A and B are shown apart, each in its own frame.
Chain A
């Protein structure tokens, strides 16, 4: 059974009037670290419900948010999703939690899942953005490879060889995106290949924990190895044996991953070794109802 925690919906308004929808879950105790969880591609705040429950029940505050130009309750549609906008979202959210919620960098951690790993690494490479700890879960390190593995064609290669080539609007996983917009933006930011991850990780001088899936069908593990070897502050590398990339469909491996994330951040903040409170499927089902209700309440009519 999960313990009590409070919840606050925060809609951060950007200068252009667009809104980043966040959900802040916290326990009423002082000086608790805050873990920020950006939504992974295609997913929403609700997808990371179980991770939030794991963290909040073990002494952490959590802030989850929906990216703009994405699924969820922030402004914009997933059709217009770009990495640039996701990086800006993270930056705005991190500024907000420091400015408005008074968290210091030493109290902040980020969990980056799947494609969000690219977003977080890009954010963290700037000195002024450093937080206390970063945990990467099934992190994507080479967008070109991952996009090809998912979509079945090499969009990056096609665009690189001919800028005028029209990739069009079609699905990336379950939703349509504007591929020209998405890939062009990625190429402009030079985020398309493993080199960008190597460059980023060299500049990240905070503790990094990485949890990878042994049978990740969308991420090349040799490339993950190379990236992690380049990262001088890797504090832990763990592999989910037998798991593939889509952990949200796989509760067994997801639980293992969440337990490990919890152990990592507890270790980082020296939060002792008292026994862990591990929410179960019934907690998840009960809280899912509340999450769905909130999702509906804050749904944007656009």
Chain B
């Protein structure tokens, strides 16, 4: 290119990774470790400068950034217990820079608040697009969201994330003014199944169950569903406490959506404190994007456990600018680090086993269940 162009603002390497790269799941393990270490350390430095409370916290713990150089030392970055987001305002930005206050469900009365600025929210959206492109590989798709639109979702992060899919695909939202309309959902699916290459149905597992029960009760089936992709998110417990079986739900859906493939039944993991989504591939493995590292820690020593062993899930997400997304969660998980999956992709792979405390089940799905699902007629 000749030198006569006026140069405009340069895109950062991290933004290049999130917005423009389509090879994020095709690096070697060494490349993954090198790249994510670079971005996570840059993010750590950023939060030490921007967030006085976090800096003091790191100093109190005696953490010296100079001593963290490699991927295997990243677990020394001070982690914020997710419960702290319920009691502290954890952000390094001014009030006027807050684009959205994102909240958890607060089923137990306490609500986590995460303050996202424009950059953080844009990266979340960009990362979502990147991961959908990379893991779902959908071209022409129509989305049926078994939840509310962005406006009705308000600050509740789970519903908001689900509704943001309308930024990517044409979408119909089936929760309106607090009511779920399964009849309209079926109509939307039937109307669009021949028009679009793919139909994406997204929602909490309980909403899928609600849809199934309506279809069963009204004796409805949809044929030719090999192009339907079901994306569940938000957890697998009902408001009444009982666990939902993923296998059973798929069998039930299979009985009303004829031709649907089990490989197209995918689960997504996100938490209000996490600025990325972990989406399943067709082998049902949840892949962690390259800008985020997950660590599974021994509950007593808080040291990383070997791959495949259960422990407390922590994540280091470099895409958040407005708050340190270095979080110790309430989830028990297992992981495989920089694993080459049978699907051909290489990344950290995470599997959530349960919550740390049984009586504090994952709140988002519970809130959705309690709010939108009928309380009678379930036989699960």
Contacts and interface: CB of A to CB of B under 8 A. Distances in A.
Given A214-B1, A243-B11, A280-B99, A175 B140 contact: yes
Interface in A88-121: none
Nearest to A237: B5
Interface residues of B, number: 35
Contact of A238 (B8, B12, B129, B150): B8
A284 B150 CA distance: 11
A211 B122 CA distance: 22
A217 B20 CA distance: 11
Contacts of B10: 241-242
B290 to A, nearest CB: 16
A2 interface: no
Interface string B147-182: 001110000000000001011001110000000000
A6 interface: no
A284 B122 CA distance: 11
- Chain A CB within 10 Å — which of B1, B6, B125, B126 has the most? B1
Nearest to A288: B167
B2 interface: yes
B4 to A, nearest CB: 6
A241 B9 contact: yes
A286 B150 CA distance: 8
Given A239-B6, A243-B11, A225 B1 contact: yes
A281 to B, nearest CB: 5
A18 B323 CA distance: 52
A251 B122 contact: yes
- Chain A CB within 10 Å — which of B19, B118, B129, B167 has the most? B19
Given A243-B11, A286-B151, A251 B2 contact: no
- Chain B CB within 10 Å — which of A225, A251, A257, A296 has the most? A251
Nearest to A245: B20
Given A249-B19, A251-B126, A292-B166, A281 B7 contact: no
B173 to A, nearest CB: 9
B139 interface: yes
A282 B121 CA distance: 9
Interface string A254-284: 0011001000000000000000000011101
Contacts, number: 103
Contact of A252 (B4, B5, B15, B100): B15
B20 A289 contact: no
B73 interface: no
Contacts of B30: none
Contacts of B95: none
B7 A292 contact: no
Contacts of B149: 289
A168 interface: no
Given A222-B1, A281-B118, A281-B122, A289 B150 contact: yes
Contacts of B125: 251, 281
B8 A241 contact: yes
Contacts of B99: 280-282
B164 A175 contact: no
A206 interface: no
A244 interface: yes
Contacts of A281: 99, 118, 121-122, 125
Given A236-B6, A239-B7, A249-B20, A285 B129 contact: no
A267 to B, nearest CB: 13
A238 B4 CA distance: 9
Nearest to A254: B19
B8 A237 contact: no
A256 to B, nearest CB: 5
Contacts of A237: 4-6
Contacts of B11: 240-243, 250, 252-253
A224 B151 CA distance: 43
B171 A292 contact: yes
A249 B122 contact: no
Interface string A201-231: 0000000000110110000011011000100
A215 B150 CA distance: 34
A192 B139 CA distance: 26
A20 B1 CA distance: 37
A246 B4 CA distance: 23
A185 interface: no
- Chain A CB within 10 Å — which of B10, B150, B172 has the most? B10
Interface string A54-96: 0000000000000000000000000000000000000000000
B16 interface: yes
A219 to B, nearest CB: 11
20 contacts: A174-B140, A212-B1, A212-B5, A214-B1, A222-B1, A225-B2, A238-B6, A239-B6, A240-B8, A241-B8, A243-B11, A249-B20, A249-B126, A249-B130, A250-B11, A250-B15, A252-B15, A256-B8, A285-B150, A286-B150
Given A175-B140, A241-B9, A292-B166, 16 more contacts: A173-B139, A224-B1, A225-B1, A229-B2, A239-B5, A241-B11, A242-B12, A250-B11, A252-B9, A252-B11, A257-B8, A280-B118, A282-B100, A282-B118, A284-B167, A289-B151
Q: Can you list the 3 inter-chain pairs with the closest CB atoms, starting with the nearest? A: A242-B11, A174-B139, A241-B10
Interface of A: 171, 173-175, 211-212, 214-215, 221-222, 224-225, 229, 236-244, 246, 249-253, 256-257, 260, 280-282, 284-286, 288-289, 292, 295-296
